[in-house]
Chain A
Amino acid sequence: MTFLHQYPKAAKVAKANFIVAFIALAIGGLFGFIQALHRTDVFRGFFNSGEYYTLLTGHGVLLALIFTTFFIAGLFVWGVTRSLDREPENMTFTWSWFWLMTIGLIMTAVTILGGLVPDSSIRAAVLYTFYPPLQAHPAFYIGLALVIVASWMAGADWFWSYNKWRKNHPDERIPILTFMALFTMMMWYVCTIGVAVEVVGLLIPWSLGWVTEIEPLLPRTLFWYFGHAVVYFWLLPAYYVWYAILPKLSGGRLFSDAMTRIVFVIFLLLSTPVGYHHQYADPGISVGFKFYAMATTMLLLLPSLMTLFTVVASMEHGARQRGGKGYLKWIGKLPWDSPAFVGCALAGIMFAAGGFSGMINASMNINLLIHNTIWVPGHFHLTVGTAVALTFMAISYWLIPQLTGRKLKFKTLALIQPYAWFLGMTLMSNAMHRAGLAGVPRRTAEPQYSGFEFEPIFGTMAEMDWQIAIGGTILTISLILFLWVITASWMGGEKSDRPVDDYIPEPLSGAEHTPKILDNMKLWFALAIILVLLAYSFPLWEMISDGIFEPGALPRPS
C-alpha cells in the first residue's frame, strides 16, 4: 500500500499541483538558458535586448513564484494528509483553491508572454519585483492577487484538517509533518499581508487608472515586507524535506524533534521583520530601521545554523548505522548512489555556501559593495535555485512513485542529474559572484558599456561570461534530464503496490522530549505579529503620513 492507494483523493490534488509546477519549471528554465547566453554575449539571436526583460520577468515569476508555490502546495498536501491520516475535508474546496491558483497563474503568464508578441499592448516586463511607476497590464496584478488568495485557501484547508484531527486526538502532539507545514503557512499569512495590501490596495486601482499617481517607495517597501519572508516560504519546505525525509534516505533517523520545532518557531517569528535589508541603498528610510533589520536578519542565522547541525547529525547517524566510522570518513558511507539522497545532500552543501554570500548581503554597509550587482543572483541561485529547487527535484524522485504507484525509470539519468546541477551551478554562481565584485549589474541584457570597462579582481570579463554560459548550459541539460525522468516514470513506469520504501522512522529524540509550549500556535502567531508591528509600523506611518500617494509619480509603461 502506498500513498496513492491510501489517499487517492489527496494524491490526485498533489499530482495536479506537481504537474503545474513542472511545466512552470520547464518554461522558466528555458528562459533562464536563453538569458545566460544573451547577457554573456555568447548568443543573442533568440530575442533582442528589449525582449530580454520579458524573458527575465517570466523566469523570475515562473520559477520563484509559480514553480515554488505549486510544488509546496503539492508537498504539503502529501505531508498533512499522510501525517494526520485524513483525506482533505472537502474536495470541492480543495479543488477550488487549486483552480483559482491556476487561473491566476495563467492570467499572469499571458500578460508576461504578451511582451514577446509584436505590437502587443498586453505587457508586463516589470520583473518579479514589479516596482512602480513601471506599469504592467492590470491582469498581471490581478493574476498575482488570485495566486496569493488561493494559497491562503490552501493553508486554510490544512488548518481545517488539523482542527478536525485535533478533535479526535485532543492530547497528542502535532505530528511533525503537519507542524512544519502549519508553521510555514502561518509565516506565509504574516508576510503576504504586505504584498496583498500593495497589489490590491495600490497597484490594481492604479493599473486600472482609478488613481493616476503612485508613491514609488511605499509599494517597494511593502513588497520587501513580503519579499524576504517569501524566500523562507521557499526554504522552509526544503527544510521540511531535510528534516522529515532526508535522515531516512541517509539510513538514519531525525536527530531531534525538539530542534525541528524550535527552528520553525523562530522562522515564524523573525522571517518578516527583516525586509529593510533589501533597502540598505534606498533613500527615505532611516539608518536606524536598516540597523534593526540587520540585527533580525543576523538572528535568523541561528535557526539555519541549528538546521545545519541537526540535519548533518541525522545524516551522520544514518552513515554510522550503515557502518561509517571516524571524524569525516563516515561521509563516504552515505548513499551517494541514490538520486533523492544526492540531490538533497548537494542542495544542503550549496546552501551552506549561499549562506556566506547571504551574510554579506545582509550586512548593512558591506552590502553596498555588491548591492544590485550580479553577485545577488549568484547568491539566490545557490539558495532558491539550488537549495530549494534541487531539493524539490530530488524529492520528486521519491514522491512521484508514491503518488503515481509507478517505479522510477532511468535511474542512472536520475543519478547524474543532481551531480550535473551541482557542477553547473558552481560554475555559474562562482562567476556571478566574481563579476558582482567587479560591479557588473544584475537585471541587464547587455552588461557592456561604451564609456568604461569593468576591472575584475582577477581573471577577465570574457572568461567569466563563458563560465556563466557553460554553467547555464550544464544546468539546462540537468533540467532536461529531470523532466525526462519524471515524465517517463509518470507515463510509463512499472506499476507496483509499493514502488518505494515510503516509511518514515521516528526521530531519535522524539516529541515526548519536546516542550509543549512549542505547539502553541496562537502564542507564536501573536508574537510574530507584534515583532512585525515593531519593525514596520513607524516607518510605514512615516511614509504614508504625507498621503498614501504622495509624493506621486506618473506611471510608465513597461
Chain B
Amino acid sequence: MLIINMPDETSHSTDANSNSTEPAKSWEQRNPEIEREITIDEYQPTGTLTLTLLYFAIVVLMWIFMYFVEFAGNAPSIID
C-alpha cells in the first residue's frame, strides 16, 4: 500500500468521516481539465515509443557522424 499525502486528501474530501484510504472520487474525476480517465489496462504509450525511437535514430546517426567524420578525420591523433 502506497500512501502519498493521504492526510491531505482525506482532510480535503467532502466526506470528513471517510476513513477509506482511497479518495471517494479519483483525482481525475475532480479535475476539470481532464476529459477522461485512462487506466493502466487501456493505456498504450505509442507516442512515447515513437519519440524514443526517433531520439535513438538521431543519436545513433549523430554518433556515427561525430566518431567517423569529426573525430577520425581530425588527424594527427595519438597512435600509440
B55 touches A366 (CB 8 A): no
A316 touches B48 (CB 8 A): yes
- Residue B5 at the A interface, CB < 8 A? yes
Interface size class of A (residues with CB under 8 A): 35 or more
Distance in angstroms from A75 CB to nearest chain B CB is 15
Segment of A125-133, A135-143, A222-230, A327-335 engaged in the interface with chain B: A327-335
Give the docked Cα–Cα distance between A508 and B43 (Å): 9
Chain A residues with Cβ below 8 Å from B34 are 251, 321-322
Q: Which residue of B lies closest to A321 (CB)?
A: B34
- A366 touching B1 in the complex, CB below 8 Å, given contacts A316-B45, A503-B12: no
- A175 touching B78 in the complex, CB below 8 Å, given contacts A326-B47, A369-B70: no
Chain A residues with Cβ below 8 Å from B77 are 368
- Residue B16 at the A interface, CB < 8 A? no
CB 8 Å contact bits of A72-110 with B (1 = contact, 0 = none): 000000000011010000000000000000000000000
CB 8 Å contact bits of B37-77 with A (1 = contact, 0 = none): 11110010111101110010001001100110011001001
Neighbour of A331 across the interface among B5, B12, B47, CB < 8 A: B47
Give the docked Cα–Cα distance between A510 and B78 (Å): 52
- Residue A308 at the B interface, CB < 8 A? yes
A321 touches B36 (CB 8 A): yes
B43 touches A505 (CB 8 A): no
- A356 touching B62 in the complex, CB below 8 Å, given contacts A320-B38, A508-B43: yes
- Residue A20 at the B interface, CB < 8 A? no
CB 8 Å contact bits of A431-456 with B (1 = contact, 0 = none): 00000010000000000000000000
Neighbour of A509 across the interface among B11, B37, B40, B52, CB < 8 A: B40
- Residue B24 at the A interface, CB < 8 A? no
- Residue A502 at the B interface, CB < 8 A? yes
Chain A residues with Cβ below 8 Å from B67 are 363, 366
- Residue B19 at the A interface, CB < 8 A? no
Chain A residues with Cβ below 8 Å from B46 are 327
Q: Which residue of A lies closest to B68 (CB)?
A: A366
Chain B residues with Cβ below 8 Å from A437 are 70
Distance in angstroms from B59 CB to nearest chain A CB is 6
Give the docked Cα–Cα distance between A415 and B37 (Å): 27
B47 touches A175 (CB 8 A): no
Give the docked Cα–Cα distance between A457 and B28 (Å): 52
- Residue B15 at the A interface, CB < 8 A? no
Distance in angstroms from A505 CB to nearest chain B CB is 4
Give the docked Cα–Cα distance between A331 and B50 (Å): 12
- A308 touching B52 in the complex, CB below 8 Å, given contacts A176-B4, A321-B35, A503-B5: yes
Which 8 pairs across A and B sit closest by C-beta, in order of nearness?
Answer: A313-B45, A323-B35, A505-B27, A313-B48, A508-B40, A511-B2, A312-B48, A366-B71
Q: Which residues of B contact A (CB under 8 A)?
A: 1-9, 11-12, 26-28, 31, 33-40, 43, 45-48, 50-52, 55, 59, 62-63, 66-67, 70-71, 74, 77-78
